[in-house]
A = this chain, B = another copy of it.
Amino acid sequence: MTVAAAAASAVQSMTGADRLCDALLAHEVDVCFANPGTSEMHFVAALDRQPRMRCILGLFEGVVTGAADGYARMTDRPAVTLLHLGPGLANGLANMHNARRAHSPMINIVGDHAVEHLPLDAPLTSDIDSLARPMSRWVKRIADPVRIDQDVADAWSQSMAPGISTLILPADMAWNEHSYRSAPVRGKRLPQTPLVQEMVVRIGAAIRTKRKVVLMLSGGALREHPLRIADNIRRSAGVEIYAQGANGRIERGRGRAPIAKLPMTHEIGIEMLRGADMVVLIGAKEPVSFFAYPNRPGRLAPPNCEIVQLAGPDQDLVQALEWLADEVNAPNEPVAVAPFAVPAPTAGPNAALTVDMVNRLVAARLPDQAIVCDEALTSSGFFDYSYDAAPHDYLQITGGAIGIGIPMAAGAAVACPGRKVINLQADGSGMYTLQGLWTHARENLDVVTIVFSNRSYATLWGEMSKVGAQTPGRNAQRMLQLDQPELDWSKMSQGLGVEAGRATTLSEFSRALDAALARRGPYLIEAMV
């Protein structure tokens, strides 16, 4: 018997919390975004005994889950979150919703009362299982310390499917000691649903005979390699290709195929799909409008358009595209696009800053291998200028649950030290999880936050006019305007430990951006637009 074998077979006595920690590490889950409470203290103590686990505090659970999402988008593997009973989970649900829509792997550990304490209905008691299910792919309540290895293996397998796994950890499951014979073993990945070859043949035939075929890409199909295949199919076979309206991650910039997103705005989406005979889904969902409006269809493709799924987000999207490229005899050529010089702002340096100027300058000065988080919403525009910018990753809000930008930037920065993260942040949305700036400071993350300060829920003003309220009265103004008082993002940021500056003109913004890009560590620019 070798020493290693002896060690492996030695019986170890440890708490369930320690075992849980070891089992997570056996799956290379070694980053824990946390906001713990009393019921999780034994797990906190276990984490404290395991320096391999990097624990990162968020001062609100929306920061915790949003950071786990950003981390997963950049690593394709889960971080673990640590959440405090039902309310802690509830606070994290909105960004779990975004993560779910981004197909991000994530493992949540939610503490609960000890099994015998639960029926006493102490103040913090709530129905955690029911709260977890709507945003989770898989929910399990740890009920047997002997099975913790298997529970973690299952949680990991399900998260890589991909999706959100939520493990509920009763306090006594964490604190009780048990004997374990061997080290935790890594779980297996769930088998992927195989692609259907006949579907490829059918789509190939349509491409050869139909007038307008549209490939809709999302998920893993938006990385550099599959994007190039899709672009080759586009050029040789005459199809159109779009990314879904909202995606977890797009590899973008010079050398990558410059895909456009299909807007989920009703009018524009319908116009772009007008005349389509077939829409092929490759990791994407059928294109629909973001919201419904009276007497307008929710589906964006024409009524007689065929919608076919070549591959879902849990299937091999690269192989799907390779098969389709073979089927239509697409060549394998490098991406060739006309160079696109981001047009310089036309206004003078002392002109009042505009959304467009900010987006142009960021695109023009983007550092190589930057990670761009986009929760700019009505201040969007960067994406239109970015296809020939320096190569970068583009992460956007996916589920419409505002408040993802600041946390997602934190998670991306943790995932990719050495790369600059730029967060394009709408002000109303940024307010949802501004606490995340403190985590930027605490971990000295290399994140530049650019807040588009327009002092209103600008999205909603547009919607108000759509419902026929042309001259909003006091109540509408009180619910849609963020002035009176105006938010001072510089002061809030400084209060949270992140240096900040305000820019009201083009030259001020330009200087602030240069300074922020030249340094390392967090900085916030309040762009008064």
Instruction: List the interface of chain A (C-beta within 8 A of B).
Output: 34, 36-39, 41-42, 44-45, 47-51, 53, 55-57, 59-60, 62, 82, 85-88, 90-91, 93-94, 97, 101, 113-114, 116-117, 120-124, 126-127, 130-131, 133-135, 171-172, 175-176, 245-246, 264, 285-286, 288-292, 294, 298-299, 398-403, 428, 431-432, 434-435, 438, 441-442, 459-460, 463-464, 466-469, 472-476, 478-480, 482, 484-497
User: Taking A37-B460, A298-B120 as contacts, is the C-beta distance between A497 and B476 under 8 angstroms?
Assistant: no
Question: In whole angstroms, what is the CA distance A298 to B463 when docked?
Answer: 52
Expressed in whole angstroms, the minimum distance between the Cβ of A93 and any Cβ of chain B is 4
- What are the residues of chain B within 8 A of A50 when measuring CB–CB? 475
Expressed in whole angstroms, the minimum distance between the Cβ of A342 and any Cβ of chain B is 29
- What are the residues of chain B within 8 A of A475 when measuring CB–CB? 44, 47-48, 50-51, 53, 55
Q: Which of B130, B472, B486 contacts A497, CB < 8 Å?
A: B486
Closest to A491 in B: B495
Expressed in whole angstroms, the minimum distance between the Cβ of A407 and any Cβ of chain B is 13
User: Taking A291-B39, A489-B495 as contacts, is the C-beta distance between A116 and B298 under 8 angstroms?
Assistant: yes
Closest to A57 in B: B479
Q: Are B497 and A487 in contact (CB under 8 A)?
A: yes
Question: In whole angstroms, what is the CA distance A82 to B489 when docked?
Answer: 26
Q: How many copies does the complex hold?
A: 2
Q: Are A291 and B97 in contact (CB under 8 A)?
A: no
Identify 19 new A-B residue pairs, CB closer than 8 A, beyond the known A48-B475, A88-B94.
A36-B480, A38-B291, A41-B467, A47-B479, A48-B469, A59-B432, A59-B482, A87-B97, A87-B400, A91-B93, A97-B126, A116-B298, A117-B288, A120-B298, A123-B246, A124-B291, A130-B133, A175-B467, A490-B495
Expressed in whole angstroms, the minimum distance between the Cβ of A36 and any Cβ of chain B is 6
Q: Are B38 and A479 in contact (CB under 8 A)?
A: no
Q: Are B91 and A60 in contact (CB under 8 A)?
A: no
Q: Are A464 and B45 in contact (CB under 8 A)?
A: yes
Q: Are B492 and A487 in contact (CB under 8 A)?
A: no
7 shortest interchain CB distances as A-B pairs: A485-B497, A491-B495, A87-B401, A492-B495, A117-B292, A90-B93, A114-B292
- Give 8 CB contacts A-B under 8 Å: A45-B469, A51-B473, A57-B478, A86-B97, A91-B403, A120-B288, A123-B245, A438-B487
Q: Are A134 and B131 in contact (CB under 8 A)?
A: yes
Q: Are A473 and B49 in contact (CB under 8 A)?
A: yes
Expressed in whole angstroms, the minimum distance between the Cβ of A229 and any Cβ of chain B is 26
Q: Are A291 and B122 in contact (CB under 8 A)?
A: yes
User: Among the interface residues A38, A42, A55, which one has the most CB atoms of the partner chain B within 10 A?
Assistant: A38
